[in-house]
Amino acid sequence: MKSNDMVWVEHEAGMPQLASDTDFEAVGALTEGQIHAAALADPDAQPIPSGSDEALARRGLVRVVNVKKLREKLGLTQEAFAAAYRIPVGTLRDWEQRRKFPDAPARAYLTVIASSPQVVAELLGDAA
């Protein structure tokens, strides 16, 4: 099946191996160093660099808070997190399920929540 210039293959675990030109014996014989070198040589498989937000931005990358992990770390349900931080629950679900990504102001807000969740919740509670 072909869609949007991508080839999709239906293959379930336990099904016979798909026919390909890959020499799996040669692949299996590669050392970790050879695999690492091959990955670095592939422009589509470059590792995400570590460093400051500015260094990432120079490469066109943006650090994004993992909203689901943040919520789980705080021990909150989606509904409780959304209510505490005044985020529409539908928006929160979209972020968690990667259907949508937070824009710049939302990323900044999530970063503040991640660094001081109690303070943010208290400030918002006081403002109600």
Residue 3 confidence (pLDDT) above 60: no
- Each residue of 33-63: pLDDT tens digit? 999 898 889 988 777 777 787 888 888 887 7
Phi, psi of 82 (to 5 degrees): -60, -45
Give the residue carrying structure tokens 């989606």: 78
Q: What percent of the chain has pLDDT over 90?
A: 54
pLDDT value for 128: 55
Cα angle 116, 120, 123; round to 5: 140
Task: Determine contact, residues 65/114, Cβ cutoff 8 Å.
Answer: yes
> Topology of domain 67-127, per CATH?
434 Repressor (Amino-terminal Domain) (1.10.260)
- Cα–Cα dist 85/83, whole Å: 6
User: Where in the chain is CATH 1.10.260.40?
Assistant: 67-127
Cα angle 26, 30, 36; round to 5: 135
Q: Within 13 Å and on the Cβ side, how many CA atoms surround 54? A: 0
